[in-house]
Chain A
Amino acid sequence: MSRSFKIDRKYVPMLATICLFVAGYVIGAIQYPGMARPQTFFNLFIDNAFLLIASTGLTLVILSGGIDLSVGAVIALTSVAAAYLMEHTGLSSLIVIPLMLLMGAAFGALMGGIIHVFKVQPFIVTLAGMFFARGMAFFISLDAITITDPFYRTLSLARIHLIGKSFVSVHVIIAFVVLAVFMYLAHLTHFGRTVYAMGGNEQSARLMGLAVGRTKVLVYTLGGFCSALAGLVFSNNLLSGHGLYANGLEMEAIAAVIIGGTLLTGGVGYVFGTMFGVLVNGLIQVLIIFNGELSSWWTRIVIGLLTLVFILVQSTFASMRRRQASIKPARKRPAAASDGLAAPDTPPS
């Protein structure tokens, strides 16, 4: 019976984040009565819906052992391109929305293709992709474009009432659908298992006969799709498009994924945890707003520190796991014969 009380170590980082969020919110609610209102809680989701969508896509990319730095730039590009198509060419939003999603997916597929075919590091390719997307956004328009499309406006203002007077926007529903789909993809499909295997060890995954190349391209395609969807939600929220939107968002998204308990080297983590990574990010902002004295730049410093803590925790877990399996890195004990027994760690001279 005691087995049910034992928490598997692989869940610890995610559970830590969930506890951090709950504790942070409870303390905040005690300190500032305004935070105890249900609407404040739902606003957390409304304000961060786009970040949740983008981070969910990014989680899969990171799980596969890659990285996508183009997230923020693709959001900006989508917002501008969508606004331009709707305002200056008169296309209906019903055509523009699928077009933008297709563009994002194609952009992701292109980056994934380059990464796979030319074996260039994902970091470099997506960094170039980030600059390309942001530059293209400014090629389309240097100024912000306001969106007046009626359907887009209706979508933006739609409210879905939950308990009492509190409500959420359509964006939140979209974000949760994306989250659910990605959780299904990651944990219940062949594709998902391949992603985890690739993140663990790409060489082994390939030797096992898994379709590494196809999966890799698909992962980046899904990432690009999510970024474009996040861009649509973002522009729908503000009803405008501009190349400077979501500046530096890629870092926030990566931080959310890491804080959500995903190992940045890939192979370990949960899509579900990312949601709490995003919520912690939002919570810090809310706390700073409610506090009123702390300035906004504390958000970045706190997020940076939290990211570091989670990286350190993860790397400690990783080394513990290694020690348990007694597959110690050779350089740690060059002289000792590998007899399968765990020996005390001897640091190199």
Chain B
Amino acid sequence: MAQSKSFWKRFVDSQIFWPLVALGLIMLFNAFFTPNFFKLEIKDGHLFGSLIDIINRGAPLMILAIGMTMVIATEGVDLSVGAVVAISAAVATVLINPALGQQLIASDKLVENVTATPLPVVILAALLVSALCGLWNGLLVSRGNIQPMVATLVLMVAGRGIAQLITGGQIITVYFTPYFFIGNGYLAGVPFTLFLVAVVGIFTWLLTRKTAVGMFVESVGINVKSSFYSGVNEKNIKLLVYVISGVCAGIAGLIVSSNVKSADANNAGLGFELDAILAVVIGGTLMTGGRFSLAASVIGALVIQSMTTTMYAIGVPAMAAQAVKAVVVMVVILLYSEQFRNVANRVFTRKEVRS
């Protein structure tokens, strides 16, 4: 009995509890206001329904949130993820599209189900380029001693220009079916993207919780100086988290471009940086760095995605939904802030004194 109680208490105290409560509240809202929200159907051997939709649509965000969590845990932030998503998508589609460059080819050849480059090469190239983007950010932050926000801002501004440079300013459409599997495929009746999230999640979990890297990341986030004195190579830790964040953005870029079967340098991954930061904040990892929880961030991403899906379901226009999102996020951040807790504590203690 005591054992289970302590488990419950541990669960309530853990970072994962409040994001789960938030997710539960949104689900509860949907149970009442959105018809057929929990309906799961099996069509053509695949699962269909709003819940599956949330997971499928939320996959890029979940992966971004995992990378962003580690960056924020080192007291950094990566503003360039949206741009890196666009770059990764641009690289992948340009390599697939047979009409590379300015050469003109017959339109029937263009829409053929072929790829100009083998698929593994396409994926590796996109991930490599994203890793390079991450490396660039990491070098500016760790070796250039530039604040993370400023350093990643550079790629955020220039990144979309680079993506446009790669695509030649056009929206590149691809017609190669195997590539669509990444964003639209199903494996054992479940969206393939879910497996991708699982792979990224397990990999980062093993890296941070089964090796000392996670502890180093937290120590850098709590106090850079003392980490340095304790022999932690804080520069390489910072470099590592930005590279991981870059690769995560690259994977998200592949999913996004495969999902919509094209790459739009201007709009692919637009606003992802905010969503990813919000997912991490809702997950309870503080912007000031330190303790982090990958699982809580993934749930934070699900909270945001289900919030978005819910708003679409009740008929809020896509562009207007971000206002609601902004308010929710602000409330969450204020609830987490120390000042708010102090004020709340003071109000409660005052009442006790009066009574």
Seen from chain A, the residues whose Cβ lies within 8 Å of a Cβ on chain B are 67, 114, 117-121, 123-125, 127-136, 138-139, 142, 243, 251-252, 254-255, 264-265, 295-301, 303-305, 307-308, 311-312, 315, 319, 330-331, 334, 348
Contacts and interface: CB of A to CB of B under 8 A. Distances in A.
B169 A297 contact: yes
B201 interface: no
Contact of B330 (A114, A301, A312): A114
Nearest to A111: B330
B124 interface: no
A300 B323 CA distance: 27
A115 to B, nearest CB: 11
Interface in B139-194: 140, 144-147, 149-151, 153-162, 164-165, 169
Contacts of B321: 135
Contacts of A296: 169
A311 B154 contact: yes
A128 B329 contact: yes
B45 interface: no
Interface stretch (B91-99, B252-260, B337-345): B337-345
B287 interface: yes
A254 B140 CA distance: 18
Interface residues of B, number: 49
Contact of B323 (A135, A252, A303, A311): A135
B153 A334 contact: no
Given A121-B287, A131-B326, A300-B160, A138 B339 contact: no
Contacts of A300: 157-158, 160-161, 164
B33 interface: no
B326 A304 contact: no
A119 B69 CA distance: 21
Shortest 4 CB-CB contacts between residues of A and residues of B: A135-B323, A304-B158, A300-B161, A297-B164
Given A135-B321, A300-B157, A308-B154, 15 more contacts: A118-B333, A118-B340, A125-B330, A131-B274, A135-B325, A136-B323, A243-B319, A300-B158, A300-B161, A304-B154, A304-B159, A311-B154, A315-B145, A331-B228, A331-B229
Contact of B322 (A131, A299, A304, A311): A131
